[in-house]
Amino acid sequence: MATLLSAVKALRAHPDCGAVVCSSVYETAPMGPQDQPDYLNAVVGLQTELSAFHLLSELQHIEYSHGRTRDGERWGPRTLDLDLLLFADEIIDTPKLSVPHPGIAERSFVLLPLAELAPDLIVPNKGSVSNLLDQCSPNGIRRLNSTL
């Protein structure tokens, strides 16, 4: 939890990020290999004048400052994973960045916290967050009594 709190603190302190809002924290079984600790998931919304690519770079800088490396197995253990889920109503599809995040519509561990912040938000080419959540099973997700 301390790592999540520290990451949000870094976003709040960034001079180009404002109006940072956070969902509750959710605990889920890990994606991929199950021989790792459960994941803690949350969604953060913010306003920024940064481009999507510059924001991604800033998120990766925060990850690295928290010990993140990208040399392990996919979906393996990591200290911090900050995904850029949405960027206003933009659609971006490049080798470096895909927005909306490719798995957003099928991942209840993303949709549940996102629905706390913006249930009527439209995910481009997918539909509203609340409708997408209705199509996902939230089994195995536990909302913690923690906020960021």
Task: Catalytic residue, from 12, 70, 71, 83: name it.
Answer: 83
* Residue 13: both structure tokens together: 């302190």
Q: What is the pLDDT of residues 31-73, one digit of tens each?
A: 777 777 888 999 999 999 999 999 999 999 999 998 867 676 6
Please indicate whether residue 134 is annotated as part of the active site: no
| Per-residue pLDDT, 121 | 96
Q: What does the DSSP 8-state code read for residue 148?
A: -
Q: How many domains does the chain have?
A: 1
The identity of residue 34, as a single letter, is: Q
Pairing of strands 122-123, 127-128: antiparallel
CATH code, domain carrying 85:
3.30.70.560
Domain around 89: 2-147
pLDDT score of 72? 62
Q: Is 70 a catalytic residue?
A: no
Q: Take residue 5 and report the two structure tokens written for it.
A: 């709190």
107 tagged catalytic = no
pLDDT given at position 137: 81
> Does the active-site annotation cover 68?
yes
Mean pLDDT value across the chain: 90
The predicted-structure confidence for 117-143, as pLDDT tens digits, reads as follows 999 999 999 999 999 999 988 778 999
Choice among 81, 89, 134, 142 that is catalytic: 81
The residue annotated as part of the active site, out of 12, 16, 71, 78, is 78
Q: Please state the pTM of the whole predicted model.
A: 0.88
